[in-house]
Structure 1
Amino acid sequence: MPYNETEIKCVVVGDGAVGKTCLVKVYVDNKFPEGYIPTVFENTYLIQEYRGFKVNLGIWDTAGQEDYVVDPNPFENVRTRWLPEVTHHCPHVPIVLAATKTDLREDPASLKLLQQRSCKPVTTQEVEQFAKEIKAFSFQECSSKLNSGIKELFEKCIQAVLFPNEGKEGSKKQEESKKKKDCLMM
């Protein structure tokens, strides 16, 4: 079967310790790394088939910012730091929002810590609403520890570039992205 070949760059951005490197490692190596791995900057390339395309997927894992980790509002840094930075440097690139560490919704220690702060885990509905608010192409909940939703997350990044009109927004920005072959994951 002949393939259409394409190259896509997926840049992973976000706060430090939110699970960016783990989700890349699980996707590429199919193995969860134990312990925190601070990242300076790392590129990974892999070739895969997606809906009749031979995709050379370049995944750029960027460093987070440790000083933002303690913010109790999980969406605030996306809204005030990452989204403005992304839209400034890459104005026509689709965004796929990743809700990482979903396994912690059931973790007793995490739930206790949240309760002590009068907080609760973020719900799927809250993630979906926030994705719409920031005009993300899509969102995906995932857990690197459980290897849940990781493959689907990267497939949504590929879909955002190859089939931009299949996203919920279908915006002009997404049409522009098809020419650039880039996608950002937050």
Structure 2
Amino acid sequence: NYDLFDQKEMPPQMEYLCEESTLPALPPSLDRQSQEPEVKCVLVGDGAVGKTSLIVSYTTNGYPMEYQPTAFDIFSGHVQVDGTPVRIQLCDTAGQEEFDRLRTLCYTGTDVFIVCFSVVNPTSFQNISEKWIPEIRACNPSSPIILVGTQADLRHDVNVLINLDQRKVKPVLKSCARNLAEKIRAQDYVECSALTQKNLKEVFDSAIFAAIKYKARQEKKLKMSTDRTKTFSKCGWKKFFCFV
């Protein structure tokens, strides 16, 4: 039995039971005193690579049998991170060009990006470096990225392989995907299937983990900057009074 939080809900099935050394301490915005601790995760990638399927399969254990282009959807729920309930917001975006303006509006304030391509669609893989990373970094230069190869269940599908062969292309090699992940400085590369749910949980675990580390670093930088400003301010006043 799951408690429902919003219209589109994620069952609170994830719990981090990691040792203290492997899980970063929760930043102040994610501690128990916060009114609404939250992690914002945005999924991007070409249309029809399975972004919506990832979210639907993860949040409902179901699988959408028909492809319906997404404009913009938000799924929200709670996960347990080191014993603390954290709200996670999953933003599902459209990959089509006509939604470029709408899509980039949600990039600001994102804690982690899940950048998707289909392992049986080489064009979607090529667009990671040619379109998606430049678009993300133009709006959000520093948030972590998780590179995800979707539709892994089709990698050895005979009909899919025949179709690819007719077009004189092949599935994206794992080694190529890992090399790209390193090139774009992604925090992780995960290959998964929304249909079979293989490695599906690992995708979102990795994203949430990266987001928490990122928020902790950002808040540490902000605190250091604030402390330096206060010190400079005090120094400035002392010099002023000495001069007078």
Relative to structure 2, which stretch is displaced further, 16-25 or 57-66? 57-66
Relative to structure 2, which stretch is displaced further, 12-21 or 72-81? 72-81
2:169 corresponds to 1:95: no
1:116 is matched with 166
2:59 corresponds to 1:28: yes
1:13 is matched with 44
2:126 corresponds to 1:76: yes
Cα deviation digits, residues 3-56 of structure 1 (max 9, x gap): 945310000011100000000101111111111021010001010113333221
1:163 is matched with 213
Q: In 1, are the aligned partners of 2:122 and 2:172 still within 8 Å (CA)?
A: no
Q: In 2, are the aligned partners of 1:45 and 1:58 still within 8 Å (CA)?
A: yes
Aligned pairs for 1:175-186 within 5 A: 175-176=217-218
Which runs of 5 or more residues in structure 2 are unaligned?
1-29, 99-117, 223-244
Q: TM-score, normalised by structure 1?
A: 0.81
Return the alpha-carbon distance in structure 2 between the equivalents of residues 21 and 178 of structure 1.
34
Amino acid at match of 1:80: E
Alignment coverage as a number of residue pairs: 168
Return the alpha-carbon distance in structure 2 between the equivalents of residues 53 and 130 of structure 1.
34
Q: In 2, are the aligned partners of 1:93 and 1:177 still within 8 Å (CA)?
A: no
Return the alpha-carbon distance in structure 1 between the equivalents of residues 219 and 186 of structure 2.
13
Greater Cα radius of gyration, structure 1 or 2: 2
Which runs of 5 or more residues in structure 1 are unaligned?
165-172, 181-186
Q: TM-score, normalised by structure 2?
A: 0.63
Q: In 1, are the aligned partners of 2:39 and 2:86 still within 8 Å (CA)?
A: yes
Return the alpha-carbon distance in structure 2 between the equivalents of residues 53 and 137 of structure 1.
23
1:64 CA drift (Å): 1.1
Return the alpha-carbon distance in structure 1 between the equivalents of residues 210 and 46 of structure 2.
23
Return the alpha-carbon distance in structure 2 between the equivalents of residues 65 and 25 of structure 1.
20
Q: In 1, are the aligned partners of 2:40 and 2:91 still within 8 Å (CA)?
A: yes
2:98 corresponds to 1:48: no
CA RMSD of aligned residues (A): 2.6
What SS does the aligned partner of 2:48 have? coil
